[in-house]
Amino acid sequence: MEHAEHPSYLQHHFADSQQQEETAKLGMWIFLLTEVLLFGGLFAFYAIYRAWHPEMFVEAHKVLDIPMGALNTFVLITSSLTMALSIRAMQVNNKKQTIWLLVATLLLAATFLVIKYFEYSHKFHLGQLPGKYYTYEGITAANPHIFFSIYFTMTGLHGLHVVIGMAVITWVLIRTIKNNFSSEYYTPIEMTGLYWHLVDLIWIFLFPLLYLIG
């Protein structure tokens, strides 16, 4: 059956809502590809310096706080779960549940940032800082400041993505409350979800590379 009347969310240049949704999803995946390559530059940077200074990496990674990092991994995985469930709730038209799950995702994201803040401030305190600001004296291998340059750029860029994610989640939350979505149309939540899972996915790699590998 053709869509006799034009749903309000359907843009004029699409034939039907399925085409619109698939296009949005494709666009989102291409955007995620650009994100992978953006972080990829930093992963390259990590790989190259690790190959050059293996002992320094082993020694420097020990000052990172594994319990804090692990806790943050749990927090972020849980937030990914609540995000995925919020989409599922919208698929079955349970708007109330969607709202609560989005709020939970937001709170978990905030928790992640708070934990990160404690980690950062501890390092600031000890002078475990990037590049020329590095003053810590507990590492004997040469060039330990490079490790912290890598640590701060990688986690900093990731943290920035968490902040952006929170802004986007807030936006879809408001739109959900305003009744913009239904089981027929919830593409923006779905796209936000894809983005949020990618943020989680990148952390899944950052955590072992920075905190665990000795």
Per CB under 8 A, 174 contacts another protein:
no
Residue 159, SS3 per DSSP: helix
Per CB under 8 A, 128 contacts another protein:
no
**Count of residues interacting with another protein (CB under 8 A):** 83
Shorter beta-carbon distance to another protein: residue 1 or 178: 1
Shorter beta-carbon distance to another protein: residue 9 or 14: 14
**Which positions from 5 through 24 interact with another protein, judged by CB under 8 A?**
11-14, 16-19, 21-23
Per CB under 8 A, 48 contacts another protein:
yes
Task: Report the C-alpha gap between 127 and 105 in whole angstroms.
Answer: 33
The dihedrals phi and psi of 47, each to the nearest 5 degrees, come to: -60, -45
Whether 85 and 189 have beta carbons less than 8 Å apart is answered as no
Among 6, 27, 55, 138, binds another protein (CB under 8 A): 27
Per CB under 8 A, 25 contacts another protein:
yes
Task: Report the C-alpha gap between 64 and 138 in whole angstroms.
Answer: 13
Per CB under 8 A, 40 contacts another protein:
yes
Most distant CA pair in the chain, distance = 73
**Which positions from 60 through 119 interact with another protein, judged by CB under 8 A?**
66, 70, 73-74, 77-78, 80-81, 83-85, 88, 91-92
Per CB under 8 A, 194 contacts another protein:
yes
Residues found in the chain: 214
The stretch near another protein (CB under 8 A) out of 103-111, 112-120, 137-145, 169-177 is 137-145
Whether 158 and 87 have beta carbons less than 8 Å apart is answered as no
Whether 46 and 211 have beta carbons less than 8 Å apart is answered as no
Per CB under 8 A, 55 contacts another protein:
no
Per CB under 8 A, 127 contacts another protein:
no
Which DSSP string do the residues of 10-39 spell out, in sequence order? --TT-SSHHHHHHHHHHHHHHHHHHHHHHH
